[in-house]
Amino acid sequence: MDNKVPKTILDVLKTNGGAEYKAPKRVSDENEAERYVALYASSKEALDSFGELIFELGAATDMASLYHRNVLDGSRRRIREYFWGELRQVKHFQSPERISVFAEKCGEETRYRVSLEIDELHADEATLKKHNSLLDLPLADGCVIAINDSGVKDLIYTVSREEAMRLMRDSNYKKAQVCYLIQGCAEENLFQELVNGIGKIQPYYEYVIK
């Protein structure tokens, strides 16, 4: 993969993420319709490139990969503010545990985030408790802990396992993640930095999967 691609994906998200979108056929003004066509096309191209990136990350880390292909958010009226891919060991592909890779817009900035996550819709209370045992392990250098119930926008970040456990004990936040955040990285180093981030998350994945 061209070293410029991971940075280009972030650049498109920074410009297009959260932008209003209307189906061109429903817009009477020709110039406005053409603008929506171009907006969707550039976002779709970036998302396709992200899919290729996820495939190459899977190949580089010997994991099965997939990515979510929706250009629009849940309202179908805006361009998504993040792209999302998943990595799993082939033999554990049906497990709700996954290493997620996000390219995301956060305010005016963009970044990559590598996280150990769990599919809560397919995880009972015992499985979720097993997932949260990732807090048994020391926090890897350069990583942070994210606590949430559901939804990316609800994340609370901390570098303290004790604070994470307190939040989960005393609030409605019931799920822990361990994350590696990549922002401000040199263009030519982004792919390798993503591989490095996955490497930091893999021990947690292997711990909870067993």
pLDDT at 168: 87
Residue that wins the pLDDT comparison between 100 and 185: 100
Number of structural domains (the chain) is 1
pLDDT at 150: 58
Which residues form the domain of 171? 5-209
pLDDT tens digits for range 48-94 = 999 999 999 999 999 999 999 999 999 999 999 999 999 999 999 99
pLDDT tens digits for range 83-110 = 999 999 999 999 999 999 999 999 999 9
* Region 1-5 average pLDDT: 85
pLDDT tens digits for range 136-182 = 999 999 999 999 875 545 789 999 999 999 988 887 788 999 999 99
Is residue 4 over pLDDT 80? yes
pLDDT at 153: 59
pTM of the model: 0.94
The domain that contains 167 carries what CATH number? Answer: 3.30.930
Contacts for 24-30: CB closer than 8 Å, 24+ residues apart: none
With b for 16 or more beta-carbon neighbours within 10 A and e for fewer, the 172-210 pattern comes to: ebbbbbbbbbbeebeeeebbebbeebbebbbebbeebbe
pLDDT confidence bin for 185, thresholds 50/70/90: confident
pLDDT at 88: 97
